[in-house]
Amino acid sequence: MRPSRINTHILATEKRSYPRLAVALTAHCRIGNRFIRDAVCDLSQGGLYLKTKEPAREGTPVRVAIALPYEEGPKFCTLVGCVARIDRDARGRLLGLGVSFDETQTALHDRTTLSAFIARA
Residue 16 has pLDDT above 90, yes or no: no
Residue 11 has pLDDT above 80, yes or no: no
Report the candidate in 59, 63, 27 with the shortest Cα–Cα distance to residue 42.
27
Calculate the alpha carbon distances from 82 to 12, 25, 53 in Å.
Answer: 25, 19, 16
Report the candidate in 70, 62, 65, 63 with the shortest Cα–Cα distance to residue 86.
62
**In this predicted model, what pLDDT tens digit does every residue of 29-84 receive, in sequence order?**
999 999 999 999 999 999 999 999 999 999 999 999 999 998 899 999 999 999 99
Residue 5 has pLDDT above 60, yes or no: no
- Per-residue pLDDT, 17: 77
Domains in the chain with CATH codes: 9-120 (2.40.10.220)
Residue 21 has pLDDT above 70, yes or no: yes
